[in-house]
Amino acid sequence: MEPKLNHHKGLTPHVCGECCTKIERISVTLNANRVLEDISLHLHCGELTTLVGPNGAGKSTLLRTLLGELPHSGAIHFLPVFGHGRPDAPAMGYVPQQLEFDRFSPISVQDAFSSALSRWPVALWHSRRDRATAREALAAVHAEHLIHRKLGQLSGGELQRVLLALSLTPVPNLLLLDEPVSGIDLPGREMFYRTVSELRQRFDLSILMVSHDLAGVTAVSDRIVFLNRRIVCAGAPAEVIAHPEVRRTFGLDLVTPNPERP
Amino acid sequence: MNTWHYLISLLPFEWTQFAFMRTALLAVLIVSPLFALMGTLVVNNRMAFFSDAIGHASLTGIGLGVLLGMADPLWALVAFALILGVGIIALQRYTRSAMDTVISLSMSFSIALGVVLLSHGGNFNKFSHYLIGDLLSITPGEVGQLLVTSVLVGSGLLLGYNRILLIGLNESLARSRGISAWWTQMLFCAGVVMVVTMNLSWVGILIINAMLIVPAAGARNIAGNARQYVFYAVGIALFSGVAGLIASYYANTATGASIVLVAMGCYLVTLCIKAARGMQSPAKCGLTGGNGLAE
């Protein structure tokens, strides 16, 4: 434990359980389609909340709404306890599902860090501080050897680790992970979950993660939210797994189908 | 200015004896690095077609300027291109339709309008020099104008370089870092418009986009990070600018087009370097898709 890294200064590095982000009755309509309906969700510090649901359920849309990319009704309140950022725009970390980018862009890992961290143009050179920060952040996810590689030359798992390191520099109030492990093999996935779970406790982060991998996330999540345009059910992993619609969507009852359910 | 002319005329070449060549050389040296720096961002952010549209749309700007009875339609040109550039970005953001469709639409519209305006009364030939450009007729006053705008736009570009780079990498990622994609993109487009329109009369509408795109595209083939990218692009731009200018003097050809041809030559050289690197280290270009030949 490193209390100095905790963004809730003066508090113990344990889960404080306070509400960091309040999502109140959010609805999103895209091209006359209601993609999200009446979503209310409170995210707590030090808690990993996982969003699951079928394809097209609006999981990524919810993250993009939190990022401020989509118009919505309802309200989002961020309560950055003592951290950086203003109440309406907190420091958010974001790891996209698959970073869509031009793989031939001559942008190195160090360039990505420097351009996100400072205004000193990466076209000239990197400041000593940016170099040190990038190296330190990459070391936390065991990726410091990648610092001079081009982003386009990284493998899927390497890229996700670099993006996770980037999203944690500086430590955000809210970390958004959009299917961070899709396309990564099982050992890579487990390592990613372990890292995230460790970081959550170390930094007292509130994390919202989208996942398809129900089996993988039940062990690490504090709370699972099953989303299908609206919140179908939310609660502790064990409760959510018992819910009939969750079981149907993820095929958990395939061995012993329940004839009573339509 | 006098010092410049004196120093250059000391060089032991025939072309240095002419004042118009010395002025043109100065213009090339001022503008090439700016084109290269801006080009790296235009190529990274996949805006090559956008800058092309701005260049072509200038016909309408010139047409409007002439219609308003302006002796030098430059400012009508700048104003029209700015409106069009902002319009394209806004239209794309609000309709969320594909960028190339929106650009193609606005480009066709403004070229058609420009040709109609300029051909009114059968005088289109009078304006054909805008298509090809004429560097050798550039005046010291115009070079001063170029210097001021280049310094302004150049420092703006450097200030915003990181943010524009991040938006080009991935917009959601940039947004999560608190960067306003809308404003950054708008200001960047305004910068592109300024550079394209200010240099139009000497480079020519038909090839101005090549000045932006070719050095950056060449540098991309061989650069491993952002700094090398800009460094190589500026190098290619300066070399082809000076070499093209001198070649056009001896071959008696249009300067802008000659510069573009030299730059294309540089591009081919970088392509060969990249191919040679790919052959040297086949292990690197396999699954990771680094620098294979089949790009």
Here the CATH number for the domain that contains residue B179 is 1.10.3470.10
Q: Where are the domains of chain A?
A: 17-91+174-249, 108-169
What residue numbers bound the domain in which B262 lies?
A: 21-123+139-273
Q: Is beta strand A174-178 parallel, antiparallel or unpaired with respect to A92-95?
A: parallel
Looking at the 3D structure of chain B, how many domains does it have?
1
The C-alpha R_g of chain B, in whole angstroms, comes to: 20
Query: Higher confidence at residue A167 or residue B72?
Result: A167
CA distance, residue A93 to nearest chain B CA (Å): 6
Cα-Cα-Cα-Cα torsion A210, A212, A213, A214, nearest 10 degrees, comes to 90
Q: Between the ranges A31-40, A236-245, B152-161, where is the mean pLDDT highest?
A: B152-161
Is B46 part of a structural domain of the chain?
yes
Q: Taking residues A174-199, report their average pLDDT.
A: 79
| CB B223 within 8 Å of CB B276 | no
Q: Taking residues B157-175, report their average pLDDT.
A: 85
Token digits of residue A152: 């386009």
The single-letter DSSP state of residue A259 is: T
CB contact under 8 A, A107 and B225: yes
Please report residues of B whose CB lies closer than 8 A to that of A118. Answer: 162
Please, what is the average pLDDT of chain A? 77
Q: Does A82 touch chain B (CB under 8 A)?
A: no
Nearest to A152 among B162, B287, B289 (CB): B289
Residue range A56-67, pLDDT digits in tens: 888 888 888 888
Residue range B226-244, pLDDT digits in tens: 889 999 999 999 999 999 9
Token digits of residue B264: 């294309």
Band of pLDDT at residue B215, cut at 50, 70 and 90 = very high
Band of pLDDT at residue B291, cut at 50, 70 and 90 = very low
Please report residues of B whose CB lies closer than 8 A to that of A69. Answer: 172, 175
**Percentage of chain B lying above the pLDDT 90 cut:** 17
pLDDT above 50: residue A82:
no
pLDDT above 50: residue A95:
yes
CA distance, residue B197 to nearest chain A CA (Å): 24
- Name the closest residue on chain B to residue A119, using Cα atoms: B162
Domain A17-91+174-249 falls under CATH 3.40.50.300: yes
Residue B231: per-residue pLDDT: 93
Quick one: CA dihedral A97, A103, A105, A108, positive or negative?
positive
Q: How far apart are CA B99 and CA B57, in angstroms?
A: 16
pLDDT above 70: residue B290:
no
Band of pLDDT at residue B151, cut at 50, 70 and 90 = very high
Q: Does A170 touch chain B (CB under 8 A)?
A: no
Residues 6+ apart with CB under 8 A from B210: B260, B263, B264
Is B61 part of a structural domain of the chain?
yes
Q: In terms of C-beta density within 10 A (0-12 exposed, 13-18 middle, 19 or more buried), how is residue B129 classed? A: middle
Q: Of A69-78, B144-153, B181-190, B234-243, which range is least confident?
A: A69-78
Q: Of A13-17, A55-59, A198-202, B97-101, which range is least confident?
A: A13-17
The size of the A-B interface in CB pairs under 8 A is: 113
HEC-encoded secondary structure of chain B: CHHHHHHHHCCCCCHHHCHHHHHHHHHHHHHHHHHHHHHHHHHHCCCHHHHHHHHHHHHHHHHHHHHCCCCCCHHHHHHHHHHHHHHHHHHHHHHCCCHHHHHHHHHHHHHHHHHHHHHCCCCHHHHCHHHHCCHHHCCHHHHHHHHHHHHHHHHHHHHHHHHHHHHHHCHHHHHHCCCCHHHHHHHHHHHHHHHHHHCHHHHCCCCHHHHHHHHHHHHHHHCCCHHHHHHHHHHHHHHHHHHHHHHHHHHCCCHHHHHHHHHHHHHHHHHHHHHHHHHHCCCCCCCCCCCCCCC
Q: Taking residues B210-229, report their average pLDDT.
A: 90
Q: Taking residues A136-150, report their average pLDDT.
A: 82
CB contact under 8 A, B225 and A110: yes
List the single best residue of B44, B47, B172, B221 to mutate versus A (max A Cβ within 10 A): B172
Residue range A9-55, pLDDT digits in tens: 333 344 455 667 778 787 888 888 888 888 888 888 888 888 888 88
Residue B235: per-residue pLDDT: 94
Residues 6+ apart with CB under 8 A from A185: A157
Nearest to B175 among A69, A91, A111 (CB): A69
Q: Does A137 touch chain B (CB under 8 A)?
A: no
List the single best residue of A63, A105, A171 to mutate versus B (max B Cβ within 10 A): A105
Residue B261: per-residue pLDDT: 92
Residues 6+ apart with CB under 8 A from A244: A258, A261
Residue B125: per-residue pLDDT: 73
Other C-beta atoms within 10 Å of B231: how many?
17
Q: Taking residues B89-95, report their average pLDDT.
A: 77
Closest C-alpha to A65, from A80, A47, A51, A85: A51
Closest C-alpha to B33, from B248, B199, B179: B199
Band of pLDDT at residue A1, cut at 50, 70 and 90 = very low
Token digits of residue B162: 């990181």
Nearest to A119 among B159, B290, B295 (CB): B159
Is B284 part of a structural domain of the chain?
no
Residue A88: per-residue pLDDT: 47
**Percentage of chain A lying above the pLDDT 70 cut:** 84
Q: Taking residues B5-32, report their average pLDDT.
A: 82
Token digits of residue B25: 């050389």
Residue range B111-130, pLDDT digits in tens: 888 888 888 767 777 777 77
Q: Taking residues B137-165, report their average pLDDT.
A: 88
Is B152 part of a structural domain of the chain?
yes
Residue A2: per-residue pLDDT: 37
Q: Of A17-26, A234-243, B191-200, B237-246, which range is least confident?
A: A17-26
Residue B226: per-residue pLDDT: 87
Nearest to A106 among B37, B223, B295 (CB): B223
Q: Taking residues B47-64, report their average pLDDT.
A: 83
Please report residues of A whose CB lies closer than 8 A to that of B184. Answer: none
Please, what is the average pLDDT of chain B? 82
Q: How far apart are CA A160 and CA A148, in angstroms?
A: 16
